[in-house]
């Protein structure tokens, strides 16, 4: 068995102990979350627990529904968010949005009582944006060019996300993504606020939400829980 998959199974067992009957989960997007739902659902269902899920993308809506999780709209709060990350720094700040669902993920996370992030160990770095990892920035189509200029003024190098055949990529909200390269971030919170202030920017893929718990998946099949309260 792949080491990450074994570690993911261990995380699923740990999370299942936190999930009581009637809990509402916020479900992030991406392949890691999809795999985690596959592992977590049987553990929850075998204990006859009723669980509702607030999906952040059509992909995860399908995965959750297929695994017996009752879908629910977001009404302002969830008990626990489970999500992945593209990069994690030493302060447990995140880059997210590789799958394009950053806006919905941040909205749901803002109303969470607890946040559990799952990421493989190769995604951990001292600072965000190391090794050329770009920050996804969701922008209304009208502002795609003006936002590029403003992001450049903030020290970024924006690149519009395209589909494989060169057509523009649109999020499920009808917006475009500017994947923006920055120098490694010494102050992720300042960058999150600064980019969000650019006219036309809907959301930025820097996540500084606290409190947070991050499950670090290791190649040998083990995992480590890292937590930060503030």
Active-site residue 105, yes or no? Answer: yes
Could you report the per-residue pLDDT of 153-196, keeping only the tens digit for each?
999 999 999 999 999 999 999 999 999 999 999 999 999 999 99
* Half-sphere CA count of 23, side-chain side, radius 13 A: 22
Report whether 72 contacts 43 (CB < 8 A): no
* Active-site annotation holder among 105, 138, 192, 203: 105
CATH of 3-125+208-228, one of 3.30.950.10, 3.40.50.360, 3.40.50.1360, 3.40.50.2300: 3.40.50.1360
With respect to CATH, is domain 130-205 assigned 3.40.50.300? no
β-bridge partners, 94: 88, 207
Report whether 139 contacts 120 (CB < 8 A): no
Provide the 3-class DSSP secondary structure of residue 94: strand
> In the numeric block, which tokens belong to residue 177?
């993504």
| pLDDT at site 162 | 97
- 130-205 and 3-125+208-228 share a CATH fold: no
* CB proximity list for 117: less than 8 A, separation 6 or greater: 83, 84, 85, 88, 92, 94, 212, 213, 214, 215
- Span 21-39, mean pLDDT? 95
pLDDT band at 2 (very low <50, low <70, confident <90, very high): confident
- What residue ranges do the domains of the chain occupy? 3-125+208-228, 130-205
Could you report the per-residue pLDDT of 143-165, keeping only the tens digit for each?
999 999 999 999 999 999 999 99
- 187 vs 166: CA distance, rounded Å: 34
């Amino acid at each position: 068995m792949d080491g990450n998959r074994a570690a993911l199974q261990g995380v699923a067992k740990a999370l299942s102990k936190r999930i009581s009957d009637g809990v509402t989960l916020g479900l992030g997007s991406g392949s890691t979350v999809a795999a985690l739902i596959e592992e977590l659902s049987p553990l929850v269902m075998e204990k006859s627990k009723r669980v509702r899920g607030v999906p952040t993308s059509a992909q995860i809506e399908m995965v959750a529904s297929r695994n017996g999780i009752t879908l629910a709209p977001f009404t302002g709060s969830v008990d626990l968010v489970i999500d992945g990350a593209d990069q994690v720094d030493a302060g447990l700040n995140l880059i997210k949005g590789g799958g394009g669902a950053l806006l919905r993920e941040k909205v749901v996370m803002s109303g969470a009582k607890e946040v559990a992030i799952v990421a493989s160990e190769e995604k951990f770095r001292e600072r965000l944006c190391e090794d050329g990892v770009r920050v996804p920035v969701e922008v209304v189509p009208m502002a795609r060019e003006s936002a590029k200029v403003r992001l450049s003024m903030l020290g970024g190098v924006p690149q519009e996300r395209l589909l494989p055949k060169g057509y523009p990529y649109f999020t499920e909200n009808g917006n475009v993504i500017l994947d923006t390269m920055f120098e490694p971030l010494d102050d992720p919170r300042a960058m999150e606020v600064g980019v969000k202030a650019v006219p036309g920017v809907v959301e930025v893929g820097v996540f500084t939400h606290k409190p947070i718990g991050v499950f670090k998946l290791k190649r040998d099949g083990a995992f480590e829980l890292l937590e930060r309260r503030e």
